[in-house]
Structure 1
Amino acid sequence: MAALRNDDLPYYSYDDYIQWEGEWELIDGIAYAMSPAPVKRHQMLCGYIFSEIISQLDQCLACEVLIDADWKIDTTTILKPDVAVVCRDKNPKHISKTPEIIFEVISPSTAKKDEGLKYTIYEEEGVRYYILIYPDDLVAKIYHLSEGKYRKIGEFDSETADFEDIACPFSFDFDVIFKRFR
């Protein structure tokens, strides 16, 4: 049996993507199914993260906090960050500006993509903070973009992280999020 070549694989664009049913991501024209739906803990963490950020940014009119929104990077790459903080983006349909902060809750089915492929894309696209949440360990790994490369700030389980170099600076208390699961 002959191996598949890259030119044998289907190549999709945003025009294809918007016609599909279900949850998908598109990376360099390759479709990635996002099923089954995330487990309860994953969904709860996303909700708590969203709530904690919203409570910090209630006076900030420049930034939005979004859950599972399409980020159209280009016509062949559309990602759905679990939680994103986006500032000064006027597009009503999807994220069109690079988010300031992205949170991804890691699951066994997404770990390789979140820790590898998305890490690289977010770094290249200039996402200032990338936070990987590990629900089984109740720990967050925070990466900050410095001189075009991610630098690991640290691992947080009950500490507070300060996000200072964005349009609306805020502090995020990881203890508030994780204590519900201890």
Structure 2
Amino acid sequence: MNLARKYLPHYTVEDYRIWKGDWELIGGIPYAMAPSPVWKHQRVSGLIFLQIEKQMENCSENCRVCQEVDWIVSKDTVVRPDILVVCGEVEDYVKTTPRVIFEVVSKSTAFKDENLKFELYQKERVNYYALVYPDLKKMRVFKLKNSRYEKVFDSDNGNFLFDIETCRFTIDLTSVWKKI
């Protein structure tokens, strides 16, 4: 065990629920969320959300898309992805593993999105993890294969088809970048 981690307090979702401000909790360690996102971040997130929402009607399973809702992973882990696609019933918070997660990456969130969340989402078997970089006008998509993420898309334009069994949707990056 890492010596520093040995002496850090270990928090739970119950602790998390009473905190003021915006936090994520990963493995019992709290991470302050960045202040409210900037215009470009929200615009990109909204445009991707709308593209997915328009295509959800074609899904035979009960799949839905949502923005910034808590996913309670375990007793000591809760995260709030920018966009997630969940199949099945959801009440107040997401408690089942999302099929797809998008994180819109900024300088202040890059380490957490590219490392901590990458490892967490891979471990929790999220089918697709998409990292969207508004400043670079780029998207990287990782697909879970044999319990490991494999990069399947890394581009600044074009389309990518997300195929999650009974639900398929495409993100048109060219359209997103044209509108920001």
Shift of 1:8: 3.0
Q: Which consecutive unaligned segments of at least 5 residues does structure 2 have?
A: none
Q: Deviations over 1:137-164 (max 9, x none)?
A: 1000011111111111121322111112
Shift of 1:59: 4.0
Stretch deviating more after TM superposition (97-106 or 154-163): 154-163
Percent identical residues: 40
- Structure 2: which amino acid aligns with 1:103? F
Answer 1 or 2: higher relative contact order, Cα 8 Å, separation at least 6: 2
- Structure 1: which amino acid aligns with 2:107? P
Q: 2 CA distance for matches of 1:153 and 1:64?
A: 23
Shift of 1:130: 0.5
Aligned length: 177
SS in 2 for 1:158: coil
Is 1:48 aligned with 2:47? yes
Q: TM-score, normalised by structure 2?
A: 0.93
SS in 1 for 2:179: helix
Is 1:67 aligned with 2:82? no
SS in 2 for 1:164: strand
Note if contact 1:62-1:168 (Cα within 8 Å) is conserved in structure 2: no
Alpha-carbon RMSD across the aligned residues, in angstroms, is 1.4
Note if contact 2:84-2:99 (Cα within 8 Å) is conserved in structure 1: yes
- Structure 2: which amino acid aligns with 1:14? V
Q: Which residue of 2 aligns with 1:20?
A: 19
Q: 2 CA distance for matches of 1:176 and 1:37?
A: 25
Q: TM-score, normalised by structure 1?
A: 0.92
Q: 1 CA distance for matches of 2:40 and 2:141?
A: 20
Q: Which residues of 2 match residues 1-182 of structure 1 at below 5 A?
A: 5-60=4-59, 62-88=62-88, 90-181=89-180
Note if contact 1:62-1:167 (Cα within 8 Å) is conserved in structure 2: no
Q: Which consecutive unaligned segments of at least 5 residues does structure 1 have?
A: none
Q: 1 CA distance for matches of 2:126 and 2:4?
A: 32
Q: Deviations over 1:78-117 (max 9, x none)?
A: 01110000001x2311111111111000011110010001
Q: 1 CA distance for matches of 2:22 and 2:35?
A: 9
SS in 1 for 2:154: strand
SS in 2 for 1:112: helix
SS in 2 for 1:57: helix
Detail structure 1 runs of 4+ shifted over 6 Å in the superposition.
none
- Structure 1: which amino acid aligns with 2:94? I
- Structure 1: which amino acid aligns with 2:96? K
Shift of 1:19: 1.0
